[in-house]
């Protein structure tokens, strides 16, 4: 089958299976191109919960499909590549978090959505890269355990000096590869460009940023800013929509290392197979799901 034939067959099967095709902003260009909706991790999970469609094909990584299954348990959630995990999410286990909680029984656990359902189930509240500071600020407790991303944790802590923040030592290997020298070089090559960075970047990188935001926040910033040029501090998949939606603006990737191999696993053949077989299916044990959903629901109740 040619690429065009595969795309046509995917769209036909989406109709036949009553399926919604979701793609994270870091997915391959051709996957984003045929998706019904592209977006950030939590936004897509909420689309999964709100749609009338019965089948969700989640082109992303494992924790995202799990979040969809937590929020929409009655639906069939498919992850076309069962092996597409997130190394940062894997840096904390439910057991490890229980240990930390025992050491700090007076703390509130704030867990980034980039985490397993089992870890969410051990958490008081979740957060995303776009609402992390607001979520942490909304809590009355002075002491917070910020899990699993130490960079997002330090970013939250820098905004809330009155809180005592203890960060789990996890990190995103992709954002970690962006170095200060890369930004200095990009700034030297493009002195008129603004630098936007994802809070998963290291504190040294965030210090250099003109704007810090989630992947969805980057679309908004690029659209609404007067600037014509942007240095983009996140995974390269985001360039597809940034360039499509802003043809008159220029987007510069400061490092070729900004590629998440897990996000690039899913290809068109995988999506086609998932729609044909309705596998691999992601489910969450009900006892875990209910507790994980409480942490997500608490986050959703925090005003934006
Ligand atoms: P957001 O799309 O939620 O900003 O997350 C970035 C990310 O690393 C997802 O894996
Ligand atoms: Fe995980 Fe980082 Fe890849 Fe996102 S970009 S899926 S946080 S490894």
The ranges assigned to domains in the chain are 3-85+263-284, 89-171, 174-252
Q: Which atom of ligand 1 is nearest to the CA of 40?
A: 2
CATH assignment of 89-171, given 3.50.50.60, 3.90.420.10, 3.40.50.10800, 3.40.50.2020?
Answer: 3.40.50.10800
Residue 105: per-residue pLDDT: 97
Least Cα distance to 267 among 91, 1, 7, 64 occurs for 7
**What mean pLDDT do residues 98-121 have?**
98
Q: Which atom of ligand 2 is nearest to the CA of 234?
A: 5
Residue 94: per-residue pLDDT: 98
Distance CA 274, CA 281 (A): 9
Going by alpha carbons, the residue nearest to atom 7 of ligand 2 is: 172
Buried b (16+ CB within 10 A) or exposed e, 101-126: beeeeebbbbbbbbbbbbbbbbbbbb
CATH of domain 3-85+263-284: 3.40.50.10800
**What mean pLDDT do residues 193-211 have?**
98
Task: Using the mean position of ligand 2's atoms as its centre, give its distance from the Cα of residue 269 in Å.
Answer: 22
Contact between 252 and 230 (Cβ < 8 Å):
yes
Same fold, 3-85+263-284 and 174-252: yes
Contact between 31 and 263 (Cβ < 8 Å):
no
CATH assignment of 174-252, given 3.20.20.100, 3.40.50.10800, 3.30.70.20, 3.30.420.40?
Answer: 3.40.50.10800
Q: What is the pLDDT of residues 72-104, one digit of tens each?
A: 999 999 999 999 999 999 999 999 999 999 999
**What mean pLDDT do residues 251-280 have?**
98
ipTM over cut 0.90: yes
Task: Check residue 105 and give left, alpha or beta (phi > 0: left; psi -120 to 50: alpha).
Answer: alpha
**What mean pLDDT do residues 99-113 have?**
98
Residues near 245 by Cβ (< 8 Å), separated by ≥ 6? 219, 222, 223
Is the pTM for the entire model greater than 0.90?
yes
Question: Residues lining ligand 1, CB < 6 A?
Answer: 25, 40-41, 86, 114, 128-129, 172, 200, 214-215
User: What percent of the chain is predicted at pLDDT more than 90?
Assistant: 95
Distance CA 87, CA 6 (A): 30
């Amino acid at each position: 089958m040619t690429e065009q034939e595969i795309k046509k067959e995917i769209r036909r099967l989406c109709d036949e299976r009553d399926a919604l095709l979701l793609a994270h902003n870091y997915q391959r260009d051709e996957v984003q191109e045929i998706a019904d909706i592209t977006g950030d991790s939590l936004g897509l999970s909420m689309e999964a919960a709100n749609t009338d469609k019965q089948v969700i094909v989640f082109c992303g990584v494992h924790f995202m499909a799990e979040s969809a299954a937590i929020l929409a348990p009655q639906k069939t959630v498919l992850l076309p590549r069962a092996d597409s995990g997130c190394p940062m999410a894997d840096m904390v286990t439910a057991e490890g978090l229980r240990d930390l909680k025992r050491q700090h029984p007076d703390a509130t656990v704030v867990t980034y959505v980039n985490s397993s359902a089992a870890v969410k189930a051990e958490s008081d509240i979740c957060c995303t890269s776009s609402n992390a500071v607001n979520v942490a600020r909304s809590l009355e407790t002075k002491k917070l355990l910020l899990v699993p991303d130490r960079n997002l944790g330090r970013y939250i802590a820098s905004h809330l000096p009155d809180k005592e923040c203890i960060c789990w030592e996890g990190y995103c290997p992709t954002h970690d590869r962006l170095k200060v020298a890369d930004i200095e070089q990009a700034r030297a090559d493009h002195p008129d460009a603004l630098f936007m960075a994802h809070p998963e970047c290291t504190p040294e990188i965030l210090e250099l940023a003109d704007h810090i935001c989630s992947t969805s926040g980057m679309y908004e910033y690029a659209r609404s800013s007067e600037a014509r040029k942007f240095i983009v501090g996140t995974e390269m998949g985001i360039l597809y929509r940034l360039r499509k939606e802003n043809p008159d603006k220029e987007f510069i990737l400061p490092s070729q290392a900004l590629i998440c191999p897990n996000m690039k696993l899913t290809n068109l053949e995988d999506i086609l197979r998932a729609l044909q077989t309705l596998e691999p299916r992601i489910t969450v044990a009900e006892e875990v799901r209910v507790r994980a959903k409480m942490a997500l629901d608490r986050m959703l109740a925090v005003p934006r």
